[in-house]
Structure 1
Amino acid sequence: MIDTAQPHAARDRPPAPLPLPHGGTGARRVPRACLRPGPTRSRRRLLIALAAAVLAVPVTAAARPEAVPAPVPPPLSPLRTATTASLAERYAATRDAVETAMRTAAATGHRWRAAMLRAMAGPARHFLSFDGRDGGRAVEVFGDLAAADRIAVIVPGSGTGLDTYGLLRGGAMRLQRAIGGRGAVVAWLGYRTPSTVSLQAMTPGRADEAVPALRAFVRDLARLRPAARVSLLCHSYGGVVCGRAASGLDVADIVLYGSPGAGVDDAAAMRTRAEVWATRGAGDWVAHLPHAAVRLPSGTIGLGADPLSPRFGARIFDAGDAGHSDYLKDGSPALAGIALIVSGRTPAGMRRG
């Protein structure tokens, strides 16, 4: 099974600058020293505005990859109970939708997408929902949701879609093994993620679009499994989605890992009763991004305060030397810590930010 669409080393480097329009080298960059968060709010705001200005021209010249054609998925009947039988019926319905999208991708010459969808249509895969359009949406269950007393919902970050879904799936599988027992993991690719190198990845716009869907999903999960402990695990830009949605989510924990921000000034601004956790590996390039938000007439640029800063107010746990895509790797401190949090326990060495 494909676990990632990119070589390991390529995933853990910061994105290369986009080419400049009408020629040029594309080599304009903010100096590395300037990307480190400054000691004052005014400096952070200046840095985020500078980074946005550097990216703005290249991004406008870069088109997104052509969308792979996919049919409109058939409507699904409401899932009224989370019994083994009702879930099996839902999984069968979504498998049919995946197979239809696979045939469409193959017929239009998109062999990579067709291969990914063929794997997703396997009898051991369990999807609560699926939509192959516009990069794709998918909500997959790992473990027995009908019997789960602990449920972890993973919200992925920028650049995640059906063509790169293997990385999300691999992490979900490893986490489910780590929590074991009656624990289930849901990989929630329920929104249109921004491209990794894009102006959208530096603004909360796509996160705000995702908020209603994430809140609705968590509400449904609480209705179906009212006794289960639900934790929200938010990777990279997924942290912005969780931060913006937090006030409407009834969950026990919100974990921000490898996140450049949560779209808010601090944990208190999330207005949640959940325990807010944060971690970042020493090898994660996200640490070098400016952490601030500038409100302009046309919208907000920047993703908010650093979740690991003391003023943010999260509970910090260790991620070792993890790179940006390493948090849910077997044997990693972050995986061990997240598994403990999902189980209602406190990782060793926890501290307040």
Structure 2
Amino acid sequence: MLATLIAGAVVFPLSAAAQPEIPAPPPAALAPVTAATLDEAYAANRANAAEASRMAAAHGDTRRAAADDSFAAPSRQLLTFDGRGEGEAVEVFGDLATADHIAVLVPGSDTSLDTYDRFRATALALRDQLARASPKGTGTAVVAWLGYETPGTISATVTTTGRAEQAAPELREFIREMRSVVGREAQVSLLCHSYGSVVCARAAAGLDVDDIVLVGSPGTGADTAADLRTRARVWAARGADDWVANVPHVSTDLFGTTVGFGTDPISPAFGARVFAAGHGGHSDYFAPGSASLANLARIVLAETSEVTHA
């Protein structure tokens, strides 16, 4: 199986290279965003998405044109947008400038502009849960961070830390820039799903966040939570019906590439704070009414004593 995956690392990129690129403009050139310039940034990125939609339509890619056009809607709050390739976008739900509790969602495999709606649905579900659970006067915001090229679920890249290594500096820089908008006092929680947990682990050292939450994680590439070298509280959960439980928690060197992610994050050996995720599957952590969503909201709101445990 491992040999097949490594072979795929060669075949899939060559196949992808044969595909014509979808044309799109470069990202909007913006000065560093501040609380005062958020609306300006949102407008510039919507305009960029509208131009990307026109270019994709002219290219004959109606699917991407429709996806890009949805980002251009007046209600969308885009901190970044890049329509090139698989695409990247960072979207805000809520008033980021006044929020004192902020959740940043980091997605796993097969997330791109073409599949973004399902990632957006998780952010909306969390936003709604926070609105219901927040004490009066508490400001909250959710940020959907698609700031890296995610691996395909059926690919060699999803079994290695390569994409995560590339994404980690981008995530660190985003959190640094976001702190200049929200200030040092805001509570920031990083919610990392599936392969996104590998990204968060690679970025963890020195990351200015209060919580790192690993859900549906195949492992992080670290042996223990302490190895992440973070001051943040480290949490982990897995639903009872999540297929990722069947992923071998091993790490091995194959042809100079490290395959696998090591220790199970919900195991006592890893040392995370394990919380209840209910009976859901791999895609159910943000399902409305679920135990996992309720606990995620409690973590974001710093109600740590209210979190239920597995």
TM class, shorter-length: over 0.9
The answer to whether structure 1 residue 78 and structure 2 residue 32 are counterparts is yes
The equivalent residue for 1:308 is 266
Q: Give, in whole Å, the separation in 2 of the partners of 1:284 and 1:71.
A: 39
2:303 corresponds to which residue?
Answer: 345
**Residue 160 (structure 2) aligns with:** 203
For 2:307 and 2:235, locate their aligned partners in 1 and report how far apart those are by CA, in whole Å: 13
| Cα distance, 1:170–1:301 mapped onto 2, change above 3 Å | same
Alignment of 1:44-193 (within 5 A): 51-58=1-8, 60-62=10-12, 63-64=15-16, 66=19, 67-79=21-33, 81-83=34-36, 86-180=37-131, 181-193=138-150
Instruction: Give the Å deviation of 1:59.
Output: 5.4
Selected match of 1:321 from 271, 279, 288 = 279
| TM-score using structure 1 length | 0.81
Alignment length (residue pairs) = 298
Shift of 1:58: 4.9
> Is the 2:22–2:56 Cα contact (8 Å) retained in structure 1?
yes
CA distance in 2, matches of 1:248, 1:295: 27
Bigger radius of gyration among the two: 1
**Residue aligning to 1:32:** none
| Superposition deviation, residue 328 in structure 1 | 0.6
Q: What residue is the counterpart of 1:220 in the other structure?
A: 177
Pick closer, same or farther for the CA change 1:64–1:327 going to 2, 3 Å.
Answer: farther
Report whether the alignment pairs 1:298 with 2:256.
yes
**What TM-score comes out, normalization by structure 2 length?**
0.92
* Contact map agreement 1:73 1:130 (CA 8 A) in 2: yes
Contact 1:150 1:182 in 2 (8 A): yes
2:8–2:156 CA contact under 8 A, matched in 1: no
Shift of 1:296: 4.7
Offset, 1:273:
0.6
Checking the alignment, whether the CA contact within 8 Å between 1:52 and 1:202 is kept in structure 2 is no
Displacement of 1:101: 0.6
Residue range with higher mean Cα deviation, 218-227 or 204-213:
218-227
Q: Which amino acid aligns with 2:61?
A: H
Given candidates 332, 336, 353, the residue that maps to 2:290 is 332
3-state SS of paired residue (1:264): coil
State, as a whole percentage, how many aligned pairs show the same letter.
53
Q: Name the aligned partner's letter for residue 175 of structure 1.
A: L
Q: Which residue of 2 aligns with 1:258?
A: 216
Match of residue 135 from structure 2: none
CA contact (8 A) 2:240 2:278 kept: yes
User: 1:44 matched to which residue of 2?
Assistant: none
Q: Partner of 1:139: helix, strand, or coil?
A: strand
| Distance apart, 1:315 and its partner CA | 0.6
Q: Secondary structure at the match of 1:151?
A: strand
Which 10-residue stretch deviates more, 340-349 or 191-200? 340-349
| AA aligned opposite 1:68 | I
SS of 1:175's equivalent?
helix
Secondary structure class of the residue paired with 1:176: helix
Query: Which residue in the other structure is 1:230 paired with?
Result: 188
- CA distance, structure 1, for counterparts of residue 290 and residue 23 of structure 2: 38
Q: C-alpha distance in 2, partners of 1:171/1:74?
A: 26
Coordinate RMSD, CA, aligned: 1.5
Counterpart-to-counterpart distance in 1, 2:28 and 2:247:
41
Structure 1 unpaired stretches of 5+: 1-50
Q: SS where residue 286 of structure 2 aligns?
A: coil
Q: Distance in 2 between matches of 1:93 and 1:186?
A: 18
Letter in 2 for 1:281: G
C-alpha distance in structure 2 between counterparts of 1:271 and 1:297, whole Å: 28
Task: Say if 1:289 and 1:342 are closer, same or farther in 2 by CA, change over 3 A.
Answer: same
Q: What is the rounded CA distance, in whole Å, between the counterparts of 1:274 and 1:75 in structure 2?
A: 33
Letter in structure 1 aligned against 2:299: I
Shift of 1:68: 2.3
Whole-angstrom distance in 2 between the partners of 1:232 and 1:348: 16
Letter in 1 for 2:164: A
Shift of 1:301: 1.1
Alpha-carbon distance in 1 for matches of 2:68, 2:109 = 20
